[in-house]
A and B are shown apart, each in its own frame.
Chain A
Amino acid sequence: MFKIRVAMQRDAFALDVSIDVSSPGVVALFGRSGCGKTTLIDVIAGLLKAHDSHIEIDGVVLEDTASNHYVESERRRIGYVFQDARLFPHMSVLANLHYGLRRARGVAQRTSFDTVVQLLGLEALLERRPHQLSGGERQRVALGRALLSQPRLLLLDEPLAGLDAARRDEVLPYLERLRDELAIPMIYVSHQFEEVLRLATHVVLMSEGRSVAQGTLDSVSLHPELRAIVGPEGIGAVLSGRVEVVDESSGLASVRVGGNVLNLSLRGVRPGAQVRIHLLARDLILATVRPEGLSVRTVLQGTVARIADDDPDTELVYVDLGGPFVVARVTRAASVALALRIGSPVWVLVKSVSIRGHAFAIPEPARA
């Protein structure tokens, strides 16, 4: 789908990243601010020049230093949604939307005006001016404007960063709809784990100008670099699974992850749906004997795979569940009392309600 290799040096900052993604979907560039995410997508958009680069999207080479090939930004057909929306203040919403559409006339239209307006709920805004819009509305219009320029790739630079929590929750579902209903590949820059958890199909973890890990969110969720981005409280394994049974009366859904079944407090999903669950290390409980008589609805069996230092009082215990891994934070005292060591058989207890706000439906995994 796309191959990107970019190397550049700006003052004291060096960027050296390569990304190779074969399936369409949302690629999240995830990393701390200042790690070069925005610089990278500026290069992809053609707004910045790298000294050594190869950018290829859907088989079309947009720049290649080796063959001295460079397509100007305005000819790349790469949509860009900026953090600050950047709507044209002297135009109505309608004129903003038409700006890219009109300039994409020669191109086969894959996204129509009506589709975009309906998908993003823009009907009521068309006559307004940008300064009459709320932050969330502005980002929706910016999304629509970029989509209507018929891009082969859509870049989103922390489109929710400037919004408060309520506005963010208002825009996120629209982004999910775009991902699920339009087949436009996206590169989504973020340093918010929740956004990545909800949107990404592929994650590139960046640190200090380099991509330190890439793959599915499940596979990078245990990477040590994540700690620096999400903070100690945000550490946890991400598991993808399929909903098997939904019990509407109790609000519990059983989700199969590999050979395990988790009973989770999860409404609004259907049997067969793919879900992604973030199991926070601080929410997991370990036991060395199978416990009984507990309110906990999920007890998983596994073996300790690794024990890592966390802070002076705690350790992170990685447990192999026969495929998927989870990580639990336990006090050193508890670790000693339970005599935890690599290879110890343990039971992992998952409180059903602890995953509220940490589990989301995702599209079918793409066939690689």
Chain B
Amino acid sequence: MATPAAPVTTPYTMPSAVCSLLRGAGTCKIAALSMTAAEIDALRLSLSVALRSVAVSLPFAIAVAWLLARSRLRGRMVLDAIVHLPLVLPPVVVGYLLLVLFGIRGPIGRWLYESLGVQLTFTTAGAALATAVMSFPLVVRAIRLSLESVDHGLEDAARTLGAGRWDRFFTITLPLMLPGILAGSVIAFAAGLGEFGAVITFASNIPGETRTLPLALYTALQTPGGDALAARLATISIALGLMGLLTAELLARRMRRLLGR
């Protein structure tokens, strides 16, 4: 196991973009916010994993939400249940299932490795996959709600105006679902920053590769004298989570105003 964050590396100042997000415009050179390389790494990894997980799950989530809300697909209830499984399963179980499927000897993992040279276990991509699976129900739920509130009559109107199936979807349905898609993405992103169990099970705890904020925090707690570091990491996590939630709310309000609701 790797050692916890090095205590005496060069103090880092946060990039000013992140800084202005946190503190408004202006410079940012507060002692409390200067971070070590390992902390930066964990933060960067968390952001990257969360972002990638959202990017991966979004198209699938839109498709599944559409199937659940609009199609007359048989077995919709089963699909619904499967999608929601990660909410009720212990994350370790999700991680385990991913290992079974996507591990180097798993049916999908082997194919990925042998034909594309892609390995998911022990990689950032793997951490993103685990995170995507865990936050999938949140995204689907938000998108489905907004899809259900889209008036079917508007699609009929578009139809009489000469718009075909995909035309209607991209010009009417999708834009009107946007509030849900945005809200779902932001929530999934914020939740993804903190995914722990599935990530550590499937992608392990490798500094610079899969050691995201919660994993770094966990490691710090396991290390003698890591309390201060743990506290700092916890603070960063809380700040990020709050920002995510507030952003989601602001976006939702702006969208509602735009749509005149």
Contact = CB atoms under 8 A, between A and B. Distances in A.
B160 A146 contact: yes
A260 interface: no
B160 A132 contact: no
A131 B260 contact: yes
What is the predominant secondary structure among interface residues of chain B facing chain A? helix
Contact of B153 (A79, A82, A130): A82
Nearest to A95: B171
A2 interface: no
A90 interface: yes
A90 B258 CA distance: 7
Interface string A125-155: 0000111100000000000011001000000
Nearest to A129: B260
21 contacts: A47-B159, A72-B164, A73-B160, A74-B159, A74-B161, A76-B160, A79-B161, A80-B156, A80-B160, A82-B153, A86-B153, A86-B156, A88-B154, A88-B158, A90-B259, A99-B163, A104-B162, A129-B260, A131-B260, A131-B261, A146-B161
Instruction: Determine which residue in B153, B157, B162 has the highest number of CB atoms from chain A within 10 A of its CB, and name it.
Output: B162
A103 B158 CA distance: 10
Nearest to B164: A74
A218 B14 CA distance: 83
Interface in B145-173: 151, 153-154, 156-164, 167, 171-172
A100 interface: yes
B260 A149 contact: no
Interface of B: 151, 153-154, 156-164, 167, 171-172, 175-176, 258-261
Interface in A286-303: none
A149 B162 contact: yes
A102 to B, nearest CB: 9
A84 B260 contact: no
A130 B172 CA distance: 14
A78 interface: yes
B258 A77 contact: no
Contacts of A129: 260
B172 A88 contact: yes
Interface in A96-130: 99-100, 103-104, 129-130
A259 interface: no
B30 to A, nearest CB: 42
A268 interface: no
Nearest to B165: A74
B163 A103 contact: yes
A103 B161 contact: yes
Interface residues of A, number: 29
B160 A149 contact: yes
Contacts of B161: 74, 79, 99-100, 103, 145-146, 149
Given A45-B160, A73-B156, 11 more contacts: A46-B160, A72-B164, A77-B162, A86-B153, A88-B158, A89-B259, A99-B163, A103-B167, A104-B162, A132-B260, A149-B162
Contacts of A45: 160
B153 A84 contact: yes
B162 A74 contact: yes
Contacts of A132: 260
A84 B154 CA distance: 10
A39 to B, nearest CB: 14
Contact of A100 (B151, B162, B259): B162
8 closest pairs, A vs B, by CB? A131-B260, A103-B162, A100-B161, A86-B157, A80-B160, A73-B159, A149-B161, A89-B259
Contacts of A100: 161-162
B156 A47 contact: yes
B162 A80 contact: no
Contacts of A130: 260
Contacts of A46: 159-160
A80 B176 contact: no
Contacts of B258: 90
Instruction: Determine which residue in A45, A86, A131 has the highest number of CB atoms from chain B within 10 A of its CB, and name it.
Output: A86
B157 A80 contact: yes
Nearest to A47: B156
A318 to B, nearest CB: 43
B163 A74 contact: yes
Instruction: Determine which residue in B153, B161, B164 has the highest number of CB atoms from chain A within 10 A of its CB, and name it.
Output: B161
Interface string A158-195: 00000000000000000000000000000000000000
Contacts of B176: 89-90
A86 B154 contact: yes
Contacts of B171: 99
A103 B160 CA distance: 10
B158 A99 contact: yes
A103 B163 CA distance: 7
A89 B156 contact: no
Instruction: Determine which residue in B160, B163, B172 has the highest number of CB atoms from chain A within 10 A of its CB, and name it.
Output: B160
A84 B151 CA distance: 11
Contacts of A149: 160-162
A76 B159 CA distance: 10
A82 B260 contact: no
B160 A79 contact: yes
A329 B32 CA distance: 93
A76 B158 CA distance: 13
A89 B167 CA distance: 17
Interface in A58-100: 72-80, 82, 84, 86, 88-90, 99-100
Contacts of A88: 154, 157-158, 172
